[in-house]
Structure formats: structure tokens, C-alpha cells
Amino acid sequence: MAALPRRIIKETQRLVSEPVPGIQAIPDDNNLRLFHVVIDGPKDSPFENGAFKLELFLPAEYPMAAPKVRFLTKIYHPNIDKLGRICLDILKDKWSPALQMRTVLLSIQALLSAPNPDDPLENEVAEKWKEAEAVAIKTAKEWTRKYAVPDCK
Amino acid sequence: MGNCYKKQKTSVRSIPDRRNPEDQDDMPYMLIMNNNTAASAAATANTSSQSTGWWRPVLRQRHSRNQTNDQPTWSFCKLTEDELDKHVLETLHILQSSAENDTTLILRMRMFRFWANGETGWNMVLSSLVRAIPLEDVLGPSAITLFIDHCPLPTKQAVLKFISNLQLSHSKAEEDIFQCKSQSKSARHRNICAVLGHLAESLAGPLSIAMLTDDALEYFIAGLDKTINNCQVPIVDILYSLISLEKFAQTGDNKTRIKQTKFVEKLMILENWRDSNDYKKRQVGFSAQWLLDNIFVVEGRKFTYEKVALDNINAMLNCNDVSEYLKISADGLEARSDAASFESVRCTFSVDSGVWYYEVTIITPGVMQIGWATKRSKFFNHDGYGIGDDEFSCAYDGCRQLYWYQAQSHRHRHPAWKEGDVLGLLLDVPNSEVIFYLNGDALPPERALFNCARSGFFAAASFMSHQQCVFNFGAEPFKFPPKNREFNSFNDHAQLTDEEKLVLPKHKKLQMIRQSSMKENSCDLCCDLEANIILQPCGHGGICHKCAEIIDSCPLCRSPIEERTVAEAEKS
């Protein structure tokens, strides 16, 4: 395996030593470019009390190319599709090498607080969100309870 | 641990500087029961006449004339050398036998502080340490540092007088080491090395320079020659010569002087004892190698870390997770402390579930606390707290025969460990059990560790001064693998990069840190090269030339880049 770029080492160290509140990111034992992420559903959002698993991968071009991030936990959200892909500008054309894993994860956390149905990835969900927000939020809460709340063993 | 080893730096007063020649009477007194006064006086009368002669008749406190025999009264009596030696030995015994008996120990240490509170007294106490501490006592040298730490800080005169009284010289060294083969002679050399070494450490600076007279230097080096030639010198004498000179070398001028002698040359030979099966030789080899890597760097000699083979080692002692004075070998599997503090270290690999086992070979049979700890366990090395001294760690102490958890101990049934013994440590997470084995003999499982910790367990250990042991995390076959359950070894599951495997000498590490902080001006994007490019027209910087070539818009403001100019080097 090629040596890990200093930039990734630095970011990883900081993520581990000063974690972002509500976000856990742990590098994979075998692939130090792969991170197992858990984002806590933000308070006062339909995702509250949920723990959403994601995976974040740093491609070889990183930081010149954006990290690849996707949700592993099912979520009812206008900007996240069935496969967990995320519609977020900074992960696409608005990526800048000055951004970091930390800022990307914070943006995703913010996206959970403020869904943006005007720039949808999942049309059906976005429609619902626009037409009957209360119903959409209710569904989102149900999904959260069903898929994202850890079982109490 | 524990409390009894706590240094009492803050409360230690220094000896009042006595310049008045009239003021000779600072000899220590001891309180004795009056009925015994006569006996005590008689017993010591003959020793006093032949030795120092400072003993004077008993001073009686004023007390009633018509005393009855069964009513004990107290009086002061000048402290004698014999009494003092007896106290040293008794205290040593208490130190070793009971960790719970802290108050007795603290009271005894206070007595020494009281006695040493004057130039004469301080000299007497230190002379007594040199004279009385037996060679075979496993805690001897550790105890010497402890005793000295509890005495007041001496004045310069007191120290120099003490050294001149020792009459150090080359011939004295030969006399102490060879001419008399009795144990006490050898102990004298070792004790002098341990006492002076510790003084040199605690009084580093001008006083340490004043202490290292030519004669003293001769005294330390004398033994080395002969040993190497024909192995006639007790190895312990060589070991403590090395340790003592290490402590003197903490003061720069001394280091330069020591380097000018043949000492370094000898170290290069002694280094070959590094892997000896004789555990005493191994200690010398380890110390010599450490000195060559860390203190007395020889031009042309390859550092050990540059030549050590680490291919099959996947877990080691973590040189970034250790208290400041522990010495770790270049292969990351052997550790030794010669500091007065209680030094601790954790392994590089942690485990959350399953059953795990590792072994430790005991090189020195003194106080070490070896066991398991999570990241939350704290290393308070200067206060005497280490592994087994909080709720996040537990440890086995084979010297005092104790099991430690939360700084509380209870006795286990194993005999005291000796050099070459193999301690086995098993962690069974599913069953919440910790089992200790001495040469394969298992103790009943301990469970308390799991009260406060469920995951993130590291192998970990703490060392009292002059203690050493070797860890096996599975890179070598285990000597006493547990038979009744399946277990894993760290080495089979862990992974370390080449960089993580580097156990660098401290001076190399500092050099690296300095270099990397010189790179303060590194590129924000790759964190590697120097950021010397300014983007035009926006004027943003913080980027190196390589990254600047790859991007076509500014990473900060996204404005298109028209030109990349080299920043003017900051004139300093």
C-alpha cells in the first residue's frame, strides 16, 4: 500500500483527538482511506435520536477530488436517495480542496437539520415534503425509529 | 503503587546553612524509653570508641527523681550508627512486605527526615544507606532513591563533605569491588553508585559538576576495565556504574568530561550483552545500548533503531503512550526504568472483545505492576500512581505478591517472582475475566476491571526504579500458553506501519519535532511542501507550488486563477 499522504494523516489524527460533537469517524483497520462514520440525528429534527451510519472514502485524488460519502442507514430525506447517495453541492461541483472530512461531515449533519426539497435527489420524497410537510416529517420520524434507533438490548 | 512512594517534594526543607563554626551540635537525637537508656548507652559505647567518636553520653530529660520502674519515661539519646542502620533495614523490610501499611512507612520516613535535618545528620543517614543496604535486597537501589527523596535537600558543603568522607578513588574502587569478596564490599560499591547517581540527578547543575571529582570518576569507571577482560567484577557493580554516570551526564559539563574517558569505548563492548541469557548481563547490555543511543552518541555507530529487525512485530510498547522517563528498546518489546518516579506504558494495540493473552519475562524481580488498562487510565508517574491504581486498570505485582485495582491491593498466593520468571496475562472479555499466570500456574480470575471498562483494553505496565522486563505480544511462541481456552495474540491481529514501529531516541524525536515545526509554513492542501505560492488575482496563499499547479480556481474564494506568483521569502 502506498504511504498515506500527510494531509490524510493530519486530518485523521485531528478527527480522533478532537471529534466533532455528534459525529464519530473511525478509520477502517485495513484501509486507512475508508472511514466508518456515525452521525447523530440533530436535535429538533425528524431524525432526532437516530444514529445514522455512513461510509466515507478518500479517493486517490483527494484532496483535489471530493471524498465519497454515502448513508448506510435508510433515511427519509429529500436530498438522500434509496442507495444512500447524498445531494450536496460541496460533494460535487462545489468541492474545494480547502474543505476537509470534518467540514463535509458537518455539512451533512446540517443537511439533516435543514432538508432542501428544492434541490431534490429523491423526487417523491421532495414532493411530499413540499406538499404535506407534516406528513413527510411524520414518515421521516417513523423511518428514524425503524431504521436508525439502536435496539435496546 | 502507591501512596508510600509518593515524593514529598513540597514539604522537604533544606538543611539550614550552618556557617558558624561554633555551631557544631547538629547531631541527631533519638527518643528512647528511659529504662533502656543505660542499656542502649552501653551497647553503643564500644562502637563509638572505635569508629567516629562523636557519640556522647546520654542527655537525660528532666524527670521525677523518684520514678517507679514500671512507669516508662522518655529521654533523648544521641543517634548511633548502629541504631540508624537498624532503622534503615527495618524500613526496607516494611517497604517490601506491605503496601497497605502506609502510615507506618510514612512515619518512618518522617523520622529519617527529622534525623537528616542538619549537616551531620544528613551525612549520617546517607552513610548508613551506603553501609546498611544489602546487596541481595531486590528493592535496595529503589529504596535508596526513596530514602534520599525523603531527606531534606543538602547544602553544598554537606554534599562535598559526604563525598570526601567516602574517599573515592581508583584504588578504593578496586578495594570495594575485588579485594574483599564478601557481599558487604560489593554492596558498598553499588550503594555508593546508587546514592551518588540519585544525588547527581536531583542536584543537576553546578552541584553535580562539583560532585564529579576526578577521583569519583575514576571510582565509577574502575570496575569496567577488569570486567570486560575477565569477568571478575560482579555485574551489579558495572550496572550501577553505568546508571550513576547516566545521571551525572544529565549535567552537560559532566557529560563532556565522561565522554573524554574510556567509558564510551567500554559501552560499545558492553552493548554486546544486550541479548545475554544471564539476566544481570542483559541489564548491563540494555543500559549500555540505551546510553549509546540516547546520551553518549558515537559518530559512525549506527543507532539501534536503524538496524533492528521488526518485520514480524505487529504490536509493541507504544513510545507515544508512555510516561517521560521509561526506556524502551528499539524493538519496542523491552522496557526499563531508572527514574525515581513510577513509570508506565501501554501497548500499541487495543482489544474490545474476545480472549487475549500475552507474556512478560521478568528481568529484575523488584516492583512492577503489569496488567491491563484502558486509555482512561492515568499515568501519574511522579505521584507513584500507575497501572492498577485507578478504576480503569488492574495489575499483578510479583514482588510484593499483590493484585492491584483502584490503588487497592490484595495478596495473591504466588511466590515472589524472580528473574527469568514468565508472567502470563489473559483477558477474557466475553466472560469478564482477567487471569494471571506465573510460569503457567493460574490465579483465580479477577473481574473488578470490568466494573468500569467494557472495551478498549491495552496491555500495560508500570515500573519502579531500576526494573526491567521483556514483553511478548505473540511475535515469539508463548512459553506457557493457557490450555483451557482459545485465545488470540496481539501480534496476529495488529498492524503497524514502518513509521509507527520507530522507537526513536529522544534527541532524534526532538529533532524531528523541530523539523516539522520548521515546516509550520506547510501547504494547507497537501500538508507536506512549503506554502510559497500566492494566487492572482485573489491574493490567497497557503499553497505549495505543486498543488497550485493542479487547481484552476482558488480553494478559498473559488475565483479563477490567472497567475501563480512565488511569495517573497519572509526575511528574518
| Stretch 535-554 of chain B: residues touching chain A, C-beta under 8 Å | 547, 550-551, 553
pLDDT at residue number B506? 81
Q: What is the DSSP letter of A84?
A: -
CA dihedral (B472, B476, B481, B486) positive or negative: positive
Which of A1, A4, A6 best probes binding to B when mutated, by most B CB atoms within 10 angstroms? A6
pLDDT, mean of residues B188-209: 91
What is chain A's Cα-based Rg? 16
Beta-sheet strands, E only, within B452-502: 457-463, 467-472
Average pLDDT, chain B: 83
In the predicted model, is pLDDT for residue B453 greater than 60?
A: yes
Please judge whether A97 and B551 are an interchain contact, meaning their C-beta atoms are less than 8 angstroms apart. Answer: yes
d(CA B444, CA B432) in angstroms, rounded, equals 13
Domain boundaries, chain B: 326-505, 516-571
Query: Which of B376, B224, B201 is closest to B295 using CA atoms?
Result: B201
What are the tens digits of pLDDT across the range A50-98? 999 999 999 988 999 999 999 999 999 999 998 899 999 999 889 999 9
C-alpha cell read off for B21:
563554626
d(CA A140, CA B317) in angstroms, rounded, equals 48
d(CA A116, CA A86) in angstroms, rounded, equals 12
Pairing of strands B408-411, B422-428: unpaired
Pairing of strands A34-40, B343-351: unpaired
In the predicted model, is pLDDT for residue B185 greater than 60?
A: yes
C-alpha cell read off for A83:
442507495
Q: What's the pLDDT band for A151 if we cut at 50, 70, 90? A: low
Cis omega (within 30 of 0) for bond into A42: no
CATH second-level architecture of B516-571?
2-Layer Sandwich (3.30)
pLDDT at residue number B437? 97
Query: Which of B147, B126, B131 is closest to B12 using CA atoms?
Result: B147
**Which of the residue ranges B34-38, B413-417, B418-422 would you say has the lowest mean pLDDT?**
B34-38
In the predicted model, is pLDDT for residue B7 greater than 60?
A: no
pLDDT at residue number B441? 95
pLDDT at residue number B25? 56
CA dihedral (A119, A123, A124, A130) positive or negative: positive
**Which of the residue ranges A138-142, B16-20, B381-385, B501-505 would you say has the lowest mean pLDDT?**
B16-20
d(CA A33, CA A50) in angstroms, rounded, equals 26
pLDDT at residue number B189? 87
What are the tens digits of pLDDT across the range B479-499? 999 998 899 999 999 999 988
C-alpha cell read off for B431:
466472560
Q: Are B479 and B359 in contact (CB under 8 A)?
A: yes
C-alpha cell read off for B512:
524531528
Q: Are B196 and B203 in contact (CB under 8 A)?
A: no
Query: Which of A148, A78, A85, A72 is closest to A115 using CA atoms?
Result: A78
In the predicted model, is pLDDT for residue B469 greater than 70?
A: yes
Which of A16, A24, A58, A64 best probes binding to B when mutated, by most B CB atoms within 10 angstroms? A64
Per-residue 3-state assignment (H helix, E strand, C coil) for B109-135: HHHHHHHCCCHHHHHHHHHHHHHHCCC
Residue A128's Cβ-side half-sphere holds a number of Cα atoms within 13 Å equal to: 16
Measure CB to CB from residue B555 to each of A4, A29, A97 and give the nearest one: A97
Please judge whether B528 and A97 are an interchain contact, meaning their C-beta atoms are less than 8 angstroms apart. Answer: no
Which positions in chain B touch A29 (Cβ < 8 Å)? 495
Beta-sheet strands, E only, within B376-466: 393-397, 402-405, 408-411, 422-428, 433-438, 441-442, 457-463
Pairing of strands B334-337, B327-328: antiparallel
Q: What's the pLDDT band for B222 if we cut at 50, 70, 90? A: confident
In the predicted model, is pLDDT for residue B20 greater than 60?
A: no
Please judge whether A64 and B551 are an interchain contact, meaning their C-beta atoms are less than 8 angstroms apart. Answer: yes
Q: Are B6 and B146 in contact (CB under 8 A)?
A: no
**Which of the residue ranges A110-119, B81-90, B343-352, B506-515 would you say has the lowest mean pLDDT?**
B506-515
pLDDT at residue number B58? 38
Task: Tell which wins on pLDDT, B471 or B145.
Answer: B471
Which positions in chain A touch B495 (Cβ < 8 Å)? 29-30
| Stretch 89-148 of chain B: residues touching chain A, C-beta under 8 Å | none
Q: Are B548 and B536 in contact (CB under 8 A)?
A: no
Task: Tell which wins on pLDDT, B36 or B60.
Answer: B36
pLDDT, mean of residues B429-451: 95
In the predicted model, is pLDDT for residue B292 greater than 90?
A: yes
pLDDT at residue number A112? 95
Distances (CA, A) of B158 to B8, B119, B143: 21, 5, 21
Catalytic residue annotation of A: 87
Chain A touched by B298 (CB under 8 Å): no
Query: From the centroid of its chain, how far is CA B100?
Result: 22
Query: From the centroid of its chain, how far is CA B34?
Result: 43
CA dihedral (B363, B366, B372, B376) positive or negative: negative
Q: What ipTM does this complex have?
A: 0.82
Chain B touched by A63 (CB under 8 Å): yes
**Which of the residue ranges A58-72, B57-71, B128-142, B186-200 would you say has the lowest mean pLDDT?**
B57-71
Q: What's the pLDDT band for B320 if we cut at 50, 70, 90? A: confident
Q: Are B401 and B412 in contact (CB under 8 A)?
A: yes
In the predicted model, is pLDDT for residue B448 greater than 80?
A: yes
pLDDT at residue number B9? 40
pLDDT at residue number B567? 80
Q: Are B392 and B452 in contact (CB under 8 A)?
A: yes
Burial of B487 (0-12, 13-18, 19+ CB in 10 A): middle
Q: What's the pLDDT band for B93 if we cut at 50, 70, 90? A: confident
The CATH number fitting domain B326-505, selected from 2.60.40.420, 3.10.20.340, 3.40.50.1010, 2.60.120.920:
2.60.120.920
In the predicted model, is pLDDT for residue B38 greater than 70?
A: no
Which positions in chain B touch A6 (Cβ < 8 Å)? 526-528
Q: Are B417 and B438 in contact (CB under 8 A)?
A: yes
Which of B533, B551, B553, B554 best probes binding to A when mutated, by most A CB atoms within 10 angstroms? B551
φ, ψ (nearest 5 deg) of residue A53: -85, 140
Q: Are B126 and B168 in contact (CB under 8 A)?
A: no
Angle between the N-to-C axes of helices B37-50 and B81-97, in degrees from 0 to 180, rounded to the nearest 10: 110
pLDDT at residue number B43? 46
d(CA B140, CA A74) in angstroms, rounded, equals 66
Chain B touched by A29 (CB under 8 Å): yes
d(CA B220, CA B238) in angstroms, rounded, equals 8
Side chain identity at B455, as an amino acid letter? Answer: S
Which positions in chain B touch A5 (Cβ < 8 Å)? 526-528
pLDDT, mean of residues B19-30: 57
Measure CB to CB from residue B555 to each of A6, A30, A98 and give the nearest one: A98
What are the tens digits of pLDDT across the range B351-374? 999 999 999 999 999 999 999 999
Q: Are B118 and B152 in contact (CB under 8 A)?
A: no
Residue B248's Cβ-side half-sphere holds a number of Cα atoms within 13 Å equal to: 28
Distances (CA, A) of B309 to B145, B313, B474: 36, 9, 16
Q: Where on the phi/psi map is residue B315: left (φ > 0), alpha (ψ -120 to 50), or beta?
A: beta
State how far residue A100 is from chain B, nearest Cα, in angstroms: 9
**Which of the residue ranges B50-54, B59-63, B90-94, B134-138 would you say has the lowest mean pLDDT?**
B50-54
Query: From the centroid of its chain, how far is CA A119?
Result: 17
Q: Are B521 and B542 in contact (CB under 8 A)?
A: no
CA angle A118, A121, A125 (to 5 degrees): 75
What are the tens digits of pLDDT across the range A89-139? 999 889 999 999 999 999 999 999 999 888 888 888 988 888 888 999 999
The CATH number assigned to the domain with range A6-148 reads 3.10.110.10
Burial code of B528-552, b = ≥16 C-beta within 10 A, e = fewer?
ebebbbbbeebebbbbbeebbeebe
Query: Which of B70, B12, B68, B60 is closest to B37 using CA atoms?
Result: B60
Measure CB to CB from residue A64 to each of B497, B527, B550 and give the nearest one: B550
State how far residue A97 is from chain B, nearest Cα, in angstroms: 6
Query: Which of B128, B131, B133 is closest to B143 using CA atoms?
Result: B133
State how far residue A63 is from chain B, nearest Cα, in angstroms: 7
H/E segment holding residue B321? strand B317-322
CA angle B556, B562, B566 (to 5 degrees): 80
Q: Are A37 and A24 in contact (CB under 8 A)?
A: yes
Please judge whether B556 and A98 are an interchain contact, meaning their C-beta atoms are less than 8 angstroms apart. Answer: yes
In the predicted model, is pLDDT for residue B28 greater than 80?
A: no
d(CA B145, CA B378) in angstroms, rounded, equals 23
Domain boundaries, chain A: 6-148
**CA-based nearest residue in chain B for residue A100:** B525
Q: Are B459 and B473 in contact (CB under 8 A)?
A: yes
Distances (CA, A) of B429 to A22, A68, B225, B468: 28, 35, 53, 28
Which positions in chain A touch B497 (Cβ < 8 Å)? 4
Q: What's the pLDDT band for B13 if we cut at 50, 70, 90? A: low
